[in-house]
Amino acid sequence: MSGKYWHFYSLLLQTGPNTAAGTPCIQTVFFQDLFVAAFYGSDGLKLLQTYSYQQPEDVSWILLHACQQFNIDSGSVVLELGGLIENNSALYKELEKYFGNIVWNEVSTSDWANEELEAQPLHYFSPILKMALCV
């Protein structure tokens, strides 16, 4: 019996952001005290990194700093949010201050095929479910 192993990063790169090619985008997946961010400029992937955070301001600082380093305009970049983040949380409100184009990473409810998961916000598990389609 043989098995295959994939790294979270390689599967995240296979799913890519939900934007048109060449559109600057930051694709994020949030966990309890860390997040993964993939920075895409107009010419493709710039950085894929995991960051830990304690305060919502930590996240905005990290994202804004990377935007500055890669010459990406934070006001127009698409910030794609996925994972464990709520639209009424302090973290979301902090990101809203600096990013004008926030979208949710969501798959359609027909992809869930699980009543228990359907009761949760679509963006909670979408990044993982999208990756499962790659395998």
Read off the pLDDT of residues 67-106 as tens digits, 9 standing for 90 and up.
999 999 999 899 999 888 898 999 999 999 999 999 988 7
pLDDT for residue 42: 86
Domains detected in the chain:
8-134 (3.30.420.260)
pLDDT for residue 22: 78
Read off the pLDDT of residues 37-54 as tens digits, 9 standing for 90 and up.
999 988 888 999 999 999
pTM for the model stands at: 0.75
What distance in Å separates the CA atoms of residue 124 and residue 29, rounded to the nearest whole number? 9
Contact 134, 15 (CB under 8 A): yes
Read off the pLDDT of residues 7-35 as tens digits, 9 standing for 90 and up.
556 666 666 776 677 789 999 989 889 99
CA 88 to chain centre: 17
Bigger pLDDT: 131 or 78?
78
Compute, in degrees rounded to 10, the torsion defined by CA atoms 76, 97, 63, 13. Answer: -60
